[in-house]
Amino acid sequence: MPTPTIVVVGHGMVGQRFLEALAERGLTGTCRVVVLCEEPRPAYDRVKLTSYFSGSTPAELSLVEGDFMERNNIEMHLGDPATAVDRAARTVTARSGQVFAYDTLVLATGSYPFVPPVPGKDATGCFVYRTIEDLLAIEEYALTARTGAVVGGGLLGLEAAGALKGLGLDTHIVEFAPRLMPVQIDEGGGAALLRTIRNMGLSVHTGVGTQAVTTDDAGVVTGMELSDGSTVAADLVVFSAGVRPRDQLARDCGLAVGERGGITVDEQCRTSDPAVFAIGECALAADGRVYGLVAPGYEMALTAADTIAEKESAFSGADLSTKLKLLGVDVASFGDAHGTAADCLDVVYSDSRSGIYKKLVVSPEGTLLGGVLVGDADSYALLRPLTGSVPPVAPEQLIAPSGGAVALGPEALPDDAVICSCHNVTKHAVQQCTTLPEVKRCTKAGTGCGSCVKLIGQLLPATGDKGLCGCFSYTRSELYEIVRTLGLTSFAATLDGHGREEARGGDGCEICKPTVGSILASLAPTLGTSGHILDGEQGALQDTNDHFLANMQRNGSYSIVPRIPGGEITPEKLIVIGEVARDFGLYTKITGGQRIDLFGARVEQLPLIWTRLVDAGFESGHAYGKSLRTVKSCVGQTWCRYGVQDSVRMAIDLEMRYRGLRAPHKLKSAVSGCGRECAEAQSKDFGIIATANGWNLYVGGNGGATPRHADLLAQDLSDAELIRLIDRFLMFYIRTADRLERTATWLERIEGGLAHLRDVIVHDSLGLCDELEAMMRAHVTGYRDEWSDTINDPERLSRFVSFVNAPDTPDPSVAFVAERDQIKPDLMILTLEGTRTL
């Protein structure tokens, strides 16, 4: 009997949850499972998409655990969407031309952004806000923009506005409805949110529509015309005016669809063809709704998997409650937030001065029906599960201001109260576990939007667990000490010897693997190991960028970033870079960190390019690693008439000393040759400013969306004193910081702050300085260029292929078009690959 085949079209959040459900039910072991994914990357957390702008990488947003696909024998086809379904023959044709026969077809195609049909909507500078590729494009375009406008004041619209503001743009929000977030919150909540957002410096236009996007003669955005006759000047426009179900594939093959869109399904998520299922935002559920939230999509995924596994299951609707932090403002709604039930009553607390608005909707009998919370949503986790019941205290006592409210504990919730609406997990199910990692592993509660994590913690026994992840009960700094003290040289030894009991003998997770990998690399000189991140077990611990020693770009190509210490480069080396860029057809750009980036290399080209660069004397710039990036400099006293010290020499010395130093987060530095601060040293993790008497050392600064000026640690230092203090500072940071914690955050977190840091590394209050200096000396002595070592090692080189089973075949989805005499990713290809699936 042939093996049944399940073909899944779409691999967003819901598609991945369906695959997990198949694995949990044992179907991946008895069926062939094929996935056709339009985007160039596997499923990622679209709910947390905006966190990309606050430092989260695409790898950190990924929802696919390590070797999940390989472990479950799932065939994943990235960048190869389905283009046609033949229901009579039961086949699916992909864009690549491959044809897949199916016994069961699951459509998880999600939705696409709605762009109002206004003139100019396709102009250069217009974007949608749906995928990582969209964010990358917005981020790049914003570099040359000053003002941005967002069409849509709903959930994603406000997130997009926050992203534009974080990118430094003056930002406008245009919402056709009379208030922001009209679907989720009422008029009072909208007014509170409006005041708070305007106080942040954003311009909000409600009750008006976009009539046209205006452009210049070259077709580049210049602004918008609104329905009230006013205009908004803007260099960049983001459309976030809602989504529509992606049901065209279903229409083309004759499946039933709703009058306003959506693939019609029954309570088992079957379409009008019993062999075809539809789940998520593309589906029109049996109750007549198209659900635009991830929690209902997850429920549909479980229902479809149960039905395929011949288990009784039904999807009859879902909770539409939501809690978010938009532009730093807590916003939540639950139940009948708009009070549509007959004879319902409102209980309202409003403080316009503080931007706080709370409303509960109750029945005449006192049953809590729903509510809206703006500005203070701490009570959401308890109020939402109480919906449908009579609270143990009067409703007004639940939303009274501090001092007048009655604090309800989680014991007030019934056992069947749903704690995690994303995965429909009850209080009783949570309390069968003892730790948060166990809850996440066994029930998936807390792995969705995250709004239930605080309440879950209150329901569990008080353990004080501050562990790194579900595999380790230790923090990153504690693990660092364990590895250093015991001389551990592998992840397996660390996990088996010091992981949680239930994790020992396992594979680890996406949090602990790169974290321990970084610790092992940081301590490699001390431990006497090679430290090369591609050697043996280390290679399997890395994320995509470290795995290929290059940054992956939006179209699946990679960037080449040679180190150019202090920004100083000879004409001969400039010529080599130019020749490499010309010969391989790469895009070149001079960065703010004073080096030259080369973009557009295919993975199999990386060793060829680096062979030429290494031969010319270049080494890795570590743009892909959590390590030192650059030490920027001005020209200093050598050339500048204001300079008082040789800033270029110092920048080069420092960059060459700390190159390749693996850390909890990336490190940036700069050296200014005088107080005019042309190198912007005070915005760096460690910055140096020359004085007439030596050097001033600043620490704990960063740029980005939340900039922080560095603090002055020591003044008028000699060269030797400066280097000694930086050695100590960096090694103490690496030793004690949390995972992915920048020096700015670390300095503000540690008890005693700057004063404590000064005591430790200047005055040696803990007696650690000799050890810290010795560890830095070991790093400096043991440093080896990663790319130089890689191109001379056949085993390491074997990973640089697009397709393991066809190593000589380049990735056909990596395509480019010409722009300004160079290349850029082919936007047509990216649009097809980046189709918006939830």
What's the pLDDT score for residue 536? Answer: 66
C-alpha span between 331 and 183 (Å, rounded): 12
Pull the structure tokens for residue 526: 């001390």
What number of helices (H) and strands (E) belong to the chain?
Answer: 29, 38
pLDDT tens figures, 153-205 = 888 888 889 889 888 899 999 999 998 888 778 888 888 888 888 888 889 99
Q: 627 — alpha (psi -120 to 50), left (phi > 0) or beta?
A: beta
Q: What number does CATH give the domain 5-112+245-308?
A: 3.50.50.60
Shortest CA distance to 300 belongs to which of 266, 250, 256, 258?
Answer: 266
CA angle 749, 753, 756 (to 5 degrees): 130
Distances (CA, A) of 685 to 546, 668, 700, 746: 22, 5, 5, 11
How long is the chain? 838
Q: Which helix (H) or strand (E) holds 84?
A: strand 82-86
Three-state secondary structure of 549-606: CCEECCCCCEEECECCHHHCCCHHHHHHHHHHHHHHCCEEEECCCCCEEEEEECHHHH
Tell whether residue 674 is among the known ligand binding residues.
yes
CB count in 10 Å sphere of residue 335: 22
Task: Note whether 23 and 6 are within 8 A (CB).
Answer: no
Shortest CA distance to 7 belongs to which of 276, 290, 343?
Answer: 276
In the sheet that holds 667-672, the strands lie side by side as 628-633, 667-672, 686-691, 694-699, 711-717
C-alpha span between 699 and 754 (Å, rounded): 9
707 Cβ partners below 8 Å, 6+ apart?
A: 683, 701
651 Cβ partners below 8 Å, 6+ apart?
A: 565, 566, 567, 631, 632, 633, 669, 670, 671, 679
Tell whether residue 640 is among the known ligand binding residues.
yes
Name the residue with tokens 């209150």.
Answer: 458
Long-range contacts formed by 351-357: CB under 8 A, 24+ apart: 351/375, 351/401, 352/191, 352/192, 352/195, 355/192, 355/193, 355/195, 355/196, 355/199, 355/329, 356/192, 356/401, 357/188, 357/189, 357/191, 357/192, 357/193
C-alpha span between 681 and 688 (Å, rounded): 6
Task: Note whether 124 and 234 are within 8 A (CB).
Answer: no
Q: Which helix (H) or strand (E) holds 331?
A: strand 329-335
Question: Is the alpha carbon torsion for 566, 571, 573, 578 positive or negative?
Answer: positive
CA angle 31, 32, 35 (to 5 degrees): 125
SS3 187: helix
Q: At the fourth CATH level, which superfamily is domain 126-241?
A: FAD/NAD(P)-binding domain (3.50.50.60)
What's the pLDDT score for residue 404? Answer: 42
What's the pLDDT score for residue 464? Answer: 55
Tell whether residue 678 is among the known ligand binding residues.
yes
493 Cβ partners below 8 Å, 6+ apart?
A: none
Pairing of strands 111-113, 243-245: antiparallel
C-alpha span between 468 and 138 (Å, rounded): 33
Amino acid found at 182? P
Residue stretches of the chain with pLDDT short of 70:
1, 54-55, 325-328, 353, 401-409, 412, 449-451, 462-465, 530-531, 536-537, 539-540, 543-544, 554, 705, 802-809, 813, 827-838
Domain segments of the chain as ranges: 5-112+245-308, 126-241, 476-542
- State the virtual CA torsion across 471, 476, 478, 480 in degrees, nearest 10: 110
Phi/psi for 722 (5° steps) reads: -60, -50
Asked whether the domain spanning 126-241 has the same topology as the one spanning 5-112+245-308, the reply is yes
Query: What's the pTM value of the predicted model, to 2 decimals?
Result: 0.55
Distances (CA, A) of 794 to 607, 616, 790, 791: 11, 21, 8, 7
SS3 543: coil
The strand pairing partners of 270, in sequence order, are 277
Pairing of strands 558-560, 551-552: antiparallel
C-alpha span between 647 and 670 (Å, rounded): 9
Task: Note whether 641 and 659 are within 8 A (CB).
Answer: no
